Amino acid sequence: MRRSVNAATVAAVGIIILADLIVANPALGSVAGFLTGLVVFLAAAAAIAGSLSLVVRHGSRFAHGIDRVGSLAVLVGMALVLLPGLAPGSSGADAPAVRWVVAALLAPLVAAIFALLFPLLLAAARRGLRLRGRETALMLTGAAAVLVLLLPIGGEPGVWLASVAGWVQAVPVAAVFRGLLLGVAAIGAVTAARILLGADGIDD
Amino acid sequence: MTEPVRRPGRRRAWVGLAPLALVALVAAASALPQLPFLALGGGPASVAGDDLHVAIGGLPDQPLVLVDMDPDLGTYPEIRYATRAALADLFAVGARVAMVSFSPEGRAIAIAEIARLRDAGAGSDRLVDLGFRSGSEAALVQLAGQPIDRDVNGQASPILDALHARGAGLGGFDLALVIGGGEMSPRTWIEQVEPRVPGLAVAAVTPTFLLPEMQPYRDAGQLVALAGTLPEGVAYGTSVAAGGTTSGLGRVPERPPSDAAILVGMLVALGVLIESGAGSLLSGRRGPRGHRS
């Protein structure tokens, strides 16, 4: 019963917002606007609830002595970002202290983690070749081909590489990507139809 | 006859030093001057990069432009040069810019960019901060259906007054420039905003990983321009820097990424892949013992 109410609510909201997109009607527009505002409010509430849940969970782990260092790192990290912005007299997200935390801590940390992907992927490729040689070799041949095609070389060889790269992107990569998108859309439509027709609970 | 003694400890030490050697090599390469046989923004990339320059150059006098600043902290270094070049390009043609974000990471970057532009002389008549709007796609839909008449602090602004005088919200802008990332990409703009505000031209600067998703929109004309790869961004930035001013808001504030450092990194990656593949093939030929792991 609860599943049907949820499904009916989602379907009704979706249909109203879709109808607002198709039909120009002020009353329908105001209902759709109200529902969109509600979704925005729910998203903000979910973000705050998620943060509070994280604080409670790691506070409890710290108090009970479970992975104290990890939990302390999470709590201190959250405090470092939140306190300068929420402190009395602070101008919020654009306060100098918050800007410093973002520029001097967050951005370099995220960029460093992202940069680590390069050596980690290479190390993973080496391990993958030892564990699943054939499949990994196929994947790495593709990666090596892409690297060669994107080499920043000038002159005639550079133009030739760029034109081959353009063909690879426009034909095989685009075909696979569109196939994936069509597949995802078809599965989404089927799942939505199952929910609307009440067939979703049969497998449960 | 005695076999040569293997020293795994020494080999392990060399393997451990390899990442440091790579960092040193890339740092040294980035200090090299422009090499004649390298062309990061050349060839077809320069044509694609010109699209954005032409789109911005074709805007009316003192255009109103909305910049959606939503890159990821991780991929922003790849598009920072093109993004700053686009902002310089906009200010060079006299644009009045409103900046908004729908992702927390995008907002953090937007705050830094707004502070940089204010230091460079962007007053309230040239740049207005519309702040962060929570709710991701729903917030974008909300923005498309609402009048935009207050900045992030709830204050009026000459730019928003000009927008209000056109009698429209989002539709009053001459161009929306989307600086995209994983959380909010130009695809969301095309899916959610174009059906609601059909007259709004959308251009984009995105990291390379979004290119397969963006390319069909560029080909179909739903994106009027796209700088979607590092070479395209470099080509665009170089073009703006060559034609722009040398000071103030129209100046591109940094030099393009080093193509020598990028080449070194790519060659190292290729070398590791080839060495790993060859080593795997050889150990496979040696028989089952070679597969120990």
* Chain A residue numbers touching B276 (CB-CB < 8 A): 125-126, 129, 140
Nearest to A93 among B132, B135, B212 (CB): B132
Q: Is the pLDDT of residue A80 over 80?
A: yes
Domain-embedded: residue A36: yes
**Alpha-carbon gap: A56 to the closest alpha carbon of chain B (Å):** 22
Mean pLDDT on A172-201: 81
Distance from CA of A93 to the nearest CA of B (A): 8
Instruction: For residue A74, give its domain range.
Output: 2-100
Smallest Cβ–Cβ distance between A144 and the set B212, B265, B270 belongs to B270
pLDDT band at A198 (very low <50, low <70, confident <90, very high): low
Q: Domain for residue A30, yes or no?
A: yes
Enumerate domains of chain B plus CATH numbers. 48-242 (3.40.50)
Whether residue A54 lies inside any domain: the answer is yes
What pLDDT was estimated at residue B291?
Answer: 47
- Residue A69: what pLDDT? 92
Residues B246 and B59: beta-carbon distance below 8 Å: no
Q: Do B280 and A133 touch (CB under 8 A)?
A: yes
Contact residues, chain B, for A137 at CB < 8 Å: 277, 280
pLDDT category, B293, cuts 50, 70, 90?
very low
Asked if A154 is an interface residue toward chain B (Cβ–Cβ < 8 A), one would say yes
Segment B136-145 mean pLDDT: 89
**Tens of pLDDT, residues B228-286:** 888 888 889 988 988 877 678 888 888 888 878 888 888 888 888 887 777 666 666 55
A88 and A162, same structural domain?
no
Q: Is there a contact between A159 and B141 if contact means CB atoms under 8 Å apart?
A: no
Together in a domain, A96 and A154:
no
Q: Does B196 lie at the interface with A, CB-CB under 8 angstroms?
A: yes
| A115 lies in some domain | no
In this complex, how many residue pairs, one in chain A and one in chain B, have their CB atoms less than 8 Å apart? 145
pLDDT in tens, A134-161: 788 888 888 888 888 888 887 788 888 8
Percent of chain B with pLDDT over 70: 83
Q: How far is B245 from chain A, CA to nearest CA, in Å?
A: 27
Residues A157, A93 within the same domain? no
Residues A88 and A25 in one domain: yes
Domain edge (last residue) among A100, A121, A140: A100
Cβ neighbors of A180 (< 8 A, separation 6 or more) are: none
- CA closest to B104 among chain A residues: A93
When CB atoms are compared, the residue of B73, B115, B216 closest to A110 is B73
Phi, psi of A103 (to 5 degrees): -75, -35
Do the domain assignments include residue A121? no
Q: Which amino acid is at B34?
A: Q
- Residue A62 domain-assigned? yes
What pLDDT sits at residue B200? Answer: 94
Identify the pLDDT of residue B250.
Answer: 85
In a shared domain, residues A156 and A96:
no
Residue in B43, B72, B135 nearest the CB of A39:
B135
Q: What is the pLDDT of residue A75?
A: 93
Four-CA torsion A52, A54, A59, A61, nearest 10 degrees: 150
Amino acid at B151: D
Average pLDDT, chain B: 84
The answer to whether A103 contacts chain B (CB < 8 Å) is: yes
Instruction: Give the whole-angstrom CA distance, residue A32 versus residue B88.
Output: 38
* Structural domain count of chain A: 2
Query: Tens of pLDDT along B27-71?
Result: 887 777 767 666 666 666 667 678 899 999 999 999 999 999 999
CA distance B258 to B27: 10
Tell me, yes or no, if A133 comes closer than 8 A to chain B by beta carbon.
yes
Q: How confident is the model at residue B176 (pLDDT cuts 50, 70, 90)?
A: very high
Dump the DSSP string for chain A. Answer: -HHHHHHHHHHHHHHHHHHHHHS--HHHHHHHHHHHHHHHHHHHHHHHHHHHHHHHHHHHHHHTTSSHHHHHHHHHHHHHHHHHHHSTT--GGGSHHHHHIIIIIIHHHHHHHHHHHHHHHHHHHHHHHHHSHHHHHHHHHHHHHHHHHT--B-HHHHHHHHHHHHHHIIIIIHHHHHHHHHHHHHHHHHHHHHHHTT-TTTT-
pLDDT in tens, B224-241: 999 988 888 888 998 898
Confidence (pLDDT) at B255:
83
Query: Is residue A123 included in any domain, yes or no?
Result: no
**Chain A hits for B216, Cβ within 8 Å:** 174, 178
Question: Within the 162-191 window of chain B, which residues sit less than 8 Å (CB to CB) from chain A?
Answer: none
* Separation CA A36–CA A13 (nearest Å): 9
pLDDT of A204 > 50? The answer is no
- Check whether residue A8 and residue A91 sit in a common domain: yes
- CA A147 to chain B, closest CA, distance in angstroms equals 7
Q: What is the per-residue pLDDT for B229?
A: 86
Q: CB–CB of B276 and A125 under 8 A?
A: yes
A158 and A72 fall within a common domain: no
Within 13 Å and on the Cβ side, how many CA atoms surround A81? 14
A15, part of any domain: yes
Q: Is the pLDDT of residue A68 over 80?
A: yes
Chain B contact present for A95, CB below 8 A: no
The answer, for B243 touching chain A at a CB cutoff of 8 Å, is no
CA gap B202, B200 in Å, rounded = 6
Question: In chain A, whose CA is at the least distance from the CA of B37?
Answer: A154
